[in-house]
Chains A and B, each alone.
Chain A
Amino acid sequence: MRGPVRSEDNNGPGFPAPVTADIRLSVNGDEHPVTVDTRETLLDTLREHLGLTGAKKGCDHGQCGACTVLVDGRRAKACLTLTVTVDDREITTVEGLARDGVPHPLQAAFVEQDAFQCGYCTPGQLCSAVGMLAEFAAGWPSSVTLGAVSPGAVAPGVEGRPPLCDDEIRERMSGNLCRCGAYPNIVAAIRQVAP
Chain B
Amino acid sequence: MRPFAYQRATDVPSAVAAGTGQAMYLGGGTNLVDLMRLGVATPEVLVDVTRVPFDTIEETPGGGLLIGAGVRNSDLAAHPLVLRNYPMLAQAVVAGGSGQIRNMATVAGNLLQRTRCSYFQDITKPCNKRVPGSGCPAREGDHRNLAILGHSEACVATHPSDMAVPLAALGAVVNVESSGGPRAIPMPGFHRLPGDAPERDTLLRPGDLVTAVELPALPFAARSRYRKVRDRASFAFAVVSVAAALDVADGVVRDCRIALGGVAHVPWRAERAEAALRGAPATAEEFARAAEAELAQASPLPRNAFKVPLARNVLVRTLLDLTAREDLTAAGDTGETS
Contact surface of A with B, Cβ cutoff 8 Å: 5, 7, 10, 15-19, 21, 37-39, 41, 60-62, 65, 68, 74-77, 80-82, 84-85, 128, 131-132, 135, 138-152, 154-155, 157, 167, 170-176
A residues in contact with B74, CB < 8 Å: 74, 135, 140
Once A18-B3, A147-B336, A174-B234 are accepted as A-B contacts, the answer to whether A76 and B104 lie under 8 Å apart by CB is yes
A residues in contact with B46, CB < 8 Å: 38, 82
B residues in contact with A80, CB < 8 Å: 28-30, 33-34, 104
A residues in contact with B91, CB < 8 Å: 143, 146-147
| Other-chain residue from B77, B90, B99, B337 in contact with A175 (beta carbon distance below 8 A) | B99
Q: Does B235 contact A (CB under 8 A)?
A: yes
B residues in contact with A176, CB < 8 Å: 98
Shortest CB distance B90–A (Å): 6
Structural contact, A175 and B50, CB atoms closer than 8 A: no
Q: Which residue on chain B has the smallest CB distance to residue A89?
A: B50
Structural contact, A141 and B50, CB atoms closer than 8 A: no
> Which of A128, A154, A157 has the most C-beta atoms of chain B within 10 angstroms of its own C-beta?
A154
Structural contact, B94 and A150, CB atoms closer than 8 A: no
Q: Which residue on chain A has the smallest CB distance to residue B220?
A: A152
Structural contact, B4 and A19, CB atoms closer than 8 A: yes
Q: Does B5 contact A (CB under 8 A)?
A: yes
Structural contact, B34 and A62, CB atoms closer than 8 A: yes
| Other-chain residue from A21, A77, A144, A171 in contact with B104 (beta carbon distance below 8 A) | A77
B:1-24 near A, CB below 8 Å: 1-6, 8
Structural contact, A76 and B5, CB atoms closer than 8 A: no
Tell me the complex Cα distance, A5–B4, Å: 13
Structural contact, B3 and A150, CB atoms closer than 8 A: no
Q: Does B300 contact A (CB under 8 A)?
A: no
Q: Which residue on chain A has the smallest CB distance to residue B1?
A: A39
B residues in contact with A150, CB < 8 Å: 326, 329
A residues in contact with B225, CB < 8 Å: 151
Shortest CB distance B135–A (Å): 25
Task: Give the total of B residues in contact with A, Cβ under 8 Å.
Answer: 53
Q: Which residue on chain A has the smallest CB distance to residue B32?
A: A80
Structural contact, A138 and B78, CB atoms closer than 8 A: yes
Structural contact, B78 and A139, CB atoms closer than 8 A: yes
Tell me the complex Cα distance, A101–B149, Å: 58
Tell me the complex Cα distance, A21–B8, Å: 12
Tell me the complex Cα distance, A84–B37, Å: 16
Shortest CB distance B208–A (Å): 21
Shortest CB distance A43–B (Å): 11
Q: List 28 A-B contacts (CB under 8 A).
A: A16-B2, A18-B3, A37-B3, A38-B6, A39-B3, A39-B4, A61-B34, A74-B103, A75-B103, A76-B104, A80-B28, A81-B33, A81-B104, A82-B33, A85-B26, A143-B91, A143-B95, A143-B234, A145-B94, A147-B335, A147-B338, A151-B223, A154-B83, A154-B87, A157-B80, A170-B233, A171-B234, A175-B99
Q: Does B101 contact A (CB under 8 A)?
A: yes
Once A38-B5, A77-B30 are accepted as A-B contacts, the answer to whether A175 and B100 lie under 8 Å apart by CB is yes
A residues in contact with B326, CB < 8 Å: 150
Tell me the complex Cα distance, A28–B30, Å: 23
Once A76-B100, A76-B104 are accepted as A-B contacts, the answer to whether A155 and B90 lie under 8 Å apart by CB is yes
Shortest CB distance B3–A (Å): 5
Tell me the complex Cα distance, A100–B37, Å: 38
Q: Identify 5 new A-B residue pairs, CB closer than 8 A, beyond the known A62-B100, A143-B94, A173-B99.
A: A16-B44, A41-B33, A75-B99, A146-B90, A170-B233
Structural contact, A141 and B78, CB atoms closer than 8 A: yes
A residues in contact with B3, CB < 8 Å: 7, 15-19, 37-39
Shortest CB distance A147–B (Å): 6
| Other-chain residue from A68, A152, A155, A172 in contact with B83 (beta carbon distance below 8 A) | A155
Tell me the complex Cα distance, A172–B234, Å: 9
